């Protein structure tokens, strides 16, 4: 991924841009007048990147994610996903989306919830079974297929919702503060698991958060955003290796990146 600024692409990032935004604007018309949710956002996300969007409320990080998912439409600029118009990419099922709440259907079992997109997309019965088993294994929920959501803890529910987003093999995973409602211990474990999953599957992940350690721990690139109007203030490329044990968070490199993110966030406020 490259910001529009002159960050020249190093060797491993010669992969084609999966998401490409050029001078994106989005203005919401509200009763209190227009709100500039996104202002002049330019960004490329390359295949296999893990990109975090971090910033205070109202900086447009969720809005940007929703634009990529074609749940919102930018009012200006150009945005492509997999080289297509975002809406066409949505129809081509280019991405899986994970929301802040697990949003599992209480009347479906865990297996039934993961099967939901597969049923809608018309996979055969046997293929559904095979895929459900595979993604349950991927998120370490094997054996919970027949349980109802209320029988699972919050962390397990969120894992099930990630499995649901993975079930139909979209290359892109869009995650909107998926662990925001979980406690720190569960969140740490899920972060570690998510990294493992990203490493094994080679997905491109766009991840919204407002936790600095989470963003630094997970990402290959950290996009720092600031509000009013929502815009990108910094894009930090992480020097951390792909394999990251939890205790990497005590390393000088980690602390250095976290410091730079914090500086970027502060700069956004002071402007």
Partner 1 sequence: MSEAVAEGTAPRPHRRLPIPPVVPMIVALIALWYVAAVPMNIKEALTQVERDGAVVSPESAVERRDMSNWALVARNPQHIAGSWATARPRLPAPHVVVEELYDSTIGEEVNGRRGLVRSGSLSNRSLVYHGLVTLNATFVGFLIGAVLGVALAIGIVHSRVMDMSVMPWAIVSQTIPIVALAPMIIVVLYSIGVQGLIPKAVISAYLSFFPVVVGMVKGLRAPDGMQLDLMRTYNADARTVLQKLRLPSSVPYLFASLKIAIAASLVGAIVGELPVQRGGLGARMLAGSYYGQTAQIWAALLTAAALAAVLVGLLGWLERKTLARMGMQT
Q: Which residues bind partner 1 (CB under 8 A)?
A: 69, 71, 90-91, 93, 95-97, 99-101, 103, 105-109, 116-117, 119-121, 147-157, 186
Residue with smaller CB distance to partner 1, 70 or 257: 70
Distance in Å, CB of 69 to partner 1, minimum:
6
Residue with smaller CB distance to partner 1, 23 or 100: 100
Distance in Å, CB of 10 to partner 1, minimum:
32
Distance in Å, CB of 150 to partner 1, minimum:
6
Closest CA to 78 of 40, 37, 51: 40
Residue with smaller CB distance to partner 1, 25 or 99: 99
Residue with smaller CB distance to partner 1, 150 or 245: 150
Q: Which residues pair with 19 in a beta bridge?
A: 45, 81
Distance in Å, CB of 148 to partner 1, minimum:
4
Give the C-alpha separation, 269 to 110, whole Å: 42
Q: Which two tokens stand for residue 170?
A: 């979209």
Residue with smaller CB distance to partner 1, 186 or 240: 186
C-alpha distances in Å from residue 28, one per residue of 73, 86, 200, 270? 10, 19, 39, 24
3-state helix, strand, coil in the chain (%, to 5): 40, 25, 35
Q: Which two tokens stand for residue 236?
A: 């930090």
Pairing of strands 95-98, 221-226: unpaired
């Amino acid at each position: 991924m490259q910001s529009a600024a002159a960050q020249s692409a190093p060797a491993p990032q010669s992969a084609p841009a999966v998401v490409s935004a050029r001078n994106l604007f989005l203005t919401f018309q509200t009763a209190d007048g227009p709100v500039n949710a996104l202002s002049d956002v330019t960004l490329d996300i390359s295949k296999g990147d893990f990109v975090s969007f971090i910033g205070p409320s109202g900086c447009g990080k969720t809005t940007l994610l929703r634009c990529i998912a074609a749940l919102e439409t930018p009012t200006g600029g150009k945005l492509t996903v997999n080289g297509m118009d975002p809406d066409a990419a949505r129809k081509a099922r280019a991405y899986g989306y994970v929301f802040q709440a697990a949003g599992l259907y209480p009347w479906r079992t865990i297996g039934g919830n993961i099967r939901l997109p597969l049923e809608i997309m018309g996979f055969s019965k046997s293929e559904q079974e095979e895929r459900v088993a595979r993604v349950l294994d991927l998120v370490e929920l094997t054996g919970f297929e027949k349980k109802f959501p209320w029988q699972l803890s919050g962390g397990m529910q969120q894992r099930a919702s990630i499995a649901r987003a993975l079930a139909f093999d979209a290359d892109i995973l869009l995650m909107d503060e998926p662990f925001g409602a979980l406690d720190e211990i569960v969140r740490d474990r899920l972060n570690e698991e998510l990294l493992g999953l990203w490493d094994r599957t080679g997905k491109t992940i766009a991840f919204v958060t407002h936790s600095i350690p989470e963003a630094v721990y997970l990402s290959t690139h950290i996009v720092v955003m600031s509000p009013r109007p929502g815009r990108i203030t910094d894009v930090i490329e992480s020097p951390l290796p792909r394999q990251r044990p939890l205790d990497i968070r005590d390393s000088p490199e980690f602390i250095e990146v976290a410091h730079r993110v914090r500086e970027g966030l502060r700069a956004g406020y002071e402007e």
